[in-house]
Amino acid sequence: MEAYLDNAATTKVSEGVCEIMQQTLLTDFGNPSSLHKKGMEAERYVRNAREIIAKSLKAEPKEIVFTSGGTESNNMALIGAALAMQRQGKHIITTQFEHASVHNPLIFLENMGFEVDFTPVDEMGHVVTEKLLAMMREDTILVSVMYVNNEVGAVQDIAEISARVKAKKPSVLFHVDGIQAYGKYIICPKREGIDLLSVSGHKIHGPKGSGFLYIRDKVRVLPIIYGGGQQKGMRSGTENVPAIAGLGKAVEEIYSEHEKKRQHLYELKEHLIAEVSKLEGVTVNAVPGDVRQCAPHIVSVSFEGVRSEVLLHALEERGVYVSSGSACSSNHPGISSSLQAIGLPNKLLDSTLRFSFSVYTQMQEVDYAVAQLAELLPMLRRFVRK
């Protein structure tokens, strides 16, 4: 048996997504900028996907810019907004809890003369709003806060944080990395005070290499890719029609019977937490009393006395696939900044795995994974003691 429990890293593409992508690859393969029939057919897929996504956000189609994924969306939002607003100031605030695709563009901006402050989170992974507000200055132009943390599943009260930031300085742009939240929550940028929202397609059963950036109407962002002027000059280059069409289909599917899908994820999460907590030397991280106050699809678990990489590969040999942190950081191994930010004890920092689910995950996969853990942990701990 296999148990794929690494859906925060990537999800399998749905059959509906495969079908529409195949149609655009083999039949409706025109360039959407071409003026003939083939071009208009391709452009129709792009337009339809944009409308589907806009509807999911209660936004306007013109506010959606297609990208190659979450990393590009975050780069476009942060670098593009900072460059557009630099005459008003060069101060940016984010959290100690962000994904590398937010953190590293901000380091790039620091090297260009911008100042970046990193606000702390508490042991549950929640932004300490008072500390964030205390960091704001006259020259603050941009605040970036992750909606759902990709390692522990902590959820921020985005509407409240944004409201308080904008009450203190209305001109500040509020960016949200929504990559782990979109598809799990109904996000309404205008209601929640979001100016810029980054989303990736392969987290919601769309293709890799797909994503979008929501840019609220009238918000100025400078392009970071220049060329033929596609997407009104915001992101030049021939549109990746198969990826865009697949993304649109994935959005349509994930928000169909949405609450039912969320309930399934929470049932999986609650069951895993209940079962894994019965094992010796196990700590479930950043979960409040009510499990449903955090993201439905991510569980961070520490296994005292066992290195995460050793346990990960031992599980892999038995067909259980999990993660030791963010997949995007796997090429640069080290101690997780997210786990450090929530104050996880040093002895557990290198003993933590992430389990993550999708709408296709079955309860027997969770049971199988727990059964393997129950067998492996005593053996691995004996080996370490030797």
With cut-offs at 50, 70 and 90, classify the pLDDT of residue 286: confident
Residue 350 pLDDT = 87
Which of 18, 188, 294, 328 is flagged as catalytic? 328
Q: Is the pLDDT of residue 386 over 70?
A: no
Residue 325 pLDDT = 65
CB 352 within 8 A of CB 336: yes
pLDDT digits (tens, 9 = 90+) for 315-361: 999 999 999 865 554 444 566 788 888 888 887 888 999 999 999 99
> Domains in the chain, ordered, with CATH?
3-11+257-385 (3.90.1150.10), 15-254 (3.40.640.10)
Residue 291 pLDDT = 85
pLDDT digits (tens, 9 = 90+) for 69-84: 999 999 999 999 999 9
Q: For residues 90-107, give the mean pLDDT.
A: 96
**Percentage of residues of the chain with pLDDT beyond 70:** 96
- Triad 22, 26, 32: Cα angle to 5°: 95
Residue 332 pLDDT = 43
Q: For residues 281-289, give the mean pLDDT.
A: 88
Count of other CB atoms within 10 angstroms of residue 107: 12
Q: Is the pLDDT of residue 154 over 80?
A: yes
Burial of 132 (0-12, 13-18, 19+ CB in 10 A): buried
Residues 6+ apart with CB under 8 A from 365: 1, 2, 3, 4, 5
pLDDT digits (tens, 9 = 90+) for 53-71: 999 999 999 999 999 999 9
Q: What is the DSSP letter of 361?
A: -
Q: Is the pLDDT of residue 115 over 50?
A: yes
Q: Is 18 a catalytic residue?
A: no
Residue 330 pLDDT = 46
pLDDT digits (tens, 9 = 90+) for 117-129: 999 999 989 999 9
Residue 334 pLDDT = 60
- Triad 274, 153, 110: Cα angle to 5°: 155
CA 172 to chain centre: 23
Reported in sequence order, the residue ranges of 62-178 that DSSP labels E, i.e. its strands, are 64-67, 91-95, 115-119, 140-146, 173-177
Residue 242 pLDDT = 98
Count of other CB atoms within 10 angstroms of residue 351: 23
Q: Is the pLDDT of residue 299 over 70?
A: yes
pLDDT digits (tens, 9 = 90+) for 160-213: 999 999 999 999 999 999 999 999 999 999 999 999 999 999 999 999 999 999
Q: Tell me the range of 39-43, 265-269, 344-348 where mean pLDDT is highest.
A: 265-269
Q: Is the pLDDT of residue 152 over 70?
A: yes
